[in-house]
């Protein structure tokens, strides 16, 4: 078996062989530390029965470690220049499928039904490009994919925001959006020094365990999302002010005040103090009073 991809020397050798240059626009930072990759695989509890979806395999460093443990790995790569590299670096593994596609445009449900027949447990494991972390995570969550969880390497600051608790400065719309679908926990910090090229900030591994049912029961999921996004539109403003300015026509202030009262929420509070349950109650009481525009 060939040497692991994720060492400084082997990575350098592969990049030189293919004359590969990093594209800043694609947020390409390749991992060169096998121990960290193994920790990511471990955090995802990958077994020989697991199917894995990966996003952005790069030159295959994480893909390789996943392929050693999983039943099958399906990886989405947007950069055509990496396809011949992956053909070579992952040649020893017959349980890997590379799909040349932008994951944000892909029909993941369709890919899963084609590629994971007979596989009951599927995890998403990836080293995500910083610039599209949030859109990718939200697509994976909002599409209600039949997955058990998501383990991703992302910017440390974003991991903190996703896993944040009410009342903290990190807590916001992204925390609620993610925690509505999944339990979020930060697994480990990863220094910039284990990547080439080195990013300017540290990264973190985040684990999202998909809930059997969303954290709160709401009648209209898109409306619930609209409500909490409105509450965070201006963090310095109270919930009442944010809702009046961002949810519906301004002349509906009285209805908004009634909805807050019914949900037992003080209109002077700010968005970051509300729990998921409170946002759920608020969404339901607003839905009765304001039109869905």
127 is in an annotated binding site: yes
**What is the residue-level pLDDT of the chain in tens, covering all 293 positions?**
467 899 999 999 999 999 988 776 666 788 989 999 999 999 999 999 999 999 999 999 999 999 999 999 999 999 999 999 999 999 999 999 999 999 999 999 999 999 999 999 999 999 998 889 999 999 999 999 999 999 999 999 999 999 999 999 999 999 999 999 999 999 999 999 998 888 888 999 999 999 999 999 999 999 999 999 999 999 899 999 999 999 877 778 999 999 999 999 999 999 999 999 999 999 999 999 887 76
Q: Are strands 121-127 and 182-190 parallel, antiparallel or unpaired?
A: unpaired
Per-residue pLDDT tens digits for 174-218? 999 999 999 999 999 999 999 888 888 899 999 999 999 999 999
User: What domains appear along the chain, each with residue ranges and CATH number?
Assistant: 8-210 (3.40.50.150), 221-289 (1.10.8.100)
31 is in an annotated binding site: yes
174 is in an annotated binding site: no
77 is in an annotated binding site: yes
């Amino acid at each position: 078996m060939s040497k692991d991809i994720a060492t400084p020397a082997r990575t350098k050798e592969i990049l030189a062989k293919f004359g590969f240059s990093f594209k800043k626009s694609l947020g390409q930072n390749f991992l060169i530390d096998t121990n960290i990759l193994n920790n990511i695989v471990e955090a995802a509890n990958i077994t020989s029965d697991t199917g894995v979806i990966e996003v952005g395999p790069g030159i295959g460093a994480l893909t390789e470690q996943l392929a050693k443990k999983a039943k099958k790995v399906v990886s989405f790569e947007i950069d055509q220049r990496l396809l011949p590299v992956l053909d070579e670096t992952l040649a020893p593994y017959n349980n890997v499928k590379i799909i040349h596609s932008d994951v944000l445009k892909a029909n993941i449900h369709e890919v899963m039904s084609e590629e994971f027949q007979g596989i009951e447990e599927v995890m998403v494991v990836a080293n995500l490009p910083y610039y599209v972390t949030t859109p990718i995570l939200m697509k994976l969550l909002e599409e209600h994919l039949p997955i058990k969880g998501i383990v991703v390497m992302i910017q440390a600051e974003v991991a903190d925001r996703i896993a944040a608790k009410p009342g903290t400065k990190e807590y916001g719309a992204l925390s609620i959006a993610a925690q509505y679908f999944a339990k979020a926990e930060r697994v480990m910090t990863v220094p910039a020094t284990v990547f080439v090229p080195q990013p300017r900030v540290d990264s973190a591994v985040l684990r999202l365990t998909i809930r059997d049912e969303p954290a709160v029961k709401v009648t209209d999921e898109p409306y619930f999302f609209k409500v909490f996004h409105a509450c965070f539109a201006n963090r310095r403003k109270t919930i009442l002010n944010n809702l009046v300015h961002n949810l519906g026509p301004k002349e509906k202030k009285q209805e908004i005040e009634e909805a807050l009262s019914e949900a037992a929420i003080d209109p002077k509070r700010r968005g970051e103090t509300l729990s998921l349950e409170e946002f759920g109650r608020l969404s339901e009481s607003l839905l009765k009073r304001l039109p869905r525009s």
